[in-house]
Amino acid sequence: MASARTEPAGTGSDADMFKAVSLNRVSQAIVEQVKLLLRQGRLKPGDRLPSERELCERFGVSRVTVREALRVLEAGGLIDIRVGARGGAFVTSPTSQQIGEGLADLLNLSPLTAAEVTEARQVFELGIVPLVIERATNDDIVALRDMVRTHQSALDRGEYVMSMSADFHVRVAACTHNPAIEMLVQSFHGPLLMSLLEAQVVAPLMGYRGSEEHGAFIDAIAARDVDRARSIMREHLQRTADRVRQEPDEAPQQA
């Protein structure tokens, strides 16, 4: 992890890094400038942005405008605002969860159907199975088994919710040890869960069989059996695909 730099970015030869803006939405123009500097590598994780006063002078805007831009950058996971004598706005990198949530928001707002999202999951989640089998560590397998036990206990107590299944799939993706894969799998589940709820699918009815399949999938990972793991995941996802193709009043009454 990059250590925080003590000197504000943009001093000395970099004094011309930020330019005055004159657009109607000036705060957004500031955000775009910072994003461009990040893409160019002129700002890096750990760099501290100039103070609010300095930014106001360089951009030629009010402090209110600068603060609005900083809030947008912080919400996007691009900066971390710290308070205190050694505080300030520090450049950071968005986490895979933040990026995944952003993609999920886009999917939620798009005209995509649950059937289309599930079809994408079938292609993607089946495709990562070989990586999961190859890269899953013993700690990964233990974590997955603990998760399934927790879900089964929730089923027994009548407290199971479908987001638990989504959590399992995201954890499976993490077994690839590829943050981009984890991020993409995570982005699929928000829209899918919303569609399943709209289709009035009852979580416990899905949960019992799904939990059993999750356990069998873990066994296949532990045995390093790609074909078995892919077969289990294919059947698991196909059941979801069959459900979301149905109209709400045709939702199945048993798993």
Give residue 249's pLDDT: 47
Rounded-to-5 percentages of helix, strand, coil across the chain: 65, 5, 30
Is CATH 1.10.8.50 the classification given to domain 96-250? no
What 8-state DSSP symbol labels residue 43? S
Query: Is-same-fold flag (12-91; 96-250)?
Result: no
Contact 130, 226 (CB under 8 A): yes
Give residue 131's pLDDT: 97
Give residue 138's pLDDT: 97
Q: Is 91 helix (H, G, I), strand (E, B) or coil?
A: strand
Cβ neighbours, 10 Å, residue 32: 14
Give residue 95's pLDDT: 62
Kindly report the CATH class assigned to 12-91.
mainly alpha
Spans of all domains in the chain:
12-91, 96-250
Q: What is the pLDDT along the chain (255 residues), one digit of tens a residue?
A: 444 444 444 444 455 676 665 555 788 888 888 888 888 888 888 889 998 899 998 888 888 999 999 998 888 788 888 887 778 899 887 665 555 565 556 555 667 777 888 888 899 999 999 999 999 999 999 999 999 999 999 999 988 888 888 889 989 999 999 988 988 887 777 666 665 665 445 455 667 888 999 999 999 999 999 999 999 999 999 988 887 776 444 444 333
Determine the Cα–Cα distance for residues 132 and 107; give it in Å rounded to an integer.
Answer: 25
Q: How far is CA 195 from CA 78, 120, 166, in A?
A: 31, 15, 13
Q: What is the pLDDT of residues 173-217, one digit of tens each?
A: 999 999 889 888 877 776 666 656 654 454 556 678 889 999 999
93: left (phi over 0), alpha (psi -120 to 50) or beta: beta
The predicted model scores a pTM of 0.60
Give residue 184's pLDDT: 82
82: part of which helix (H) or strand (E)? strand 79-82
Determine the Cα–Cα distance for residues 192 and 194; give it in Å rounded to an integer.
Answer: 5
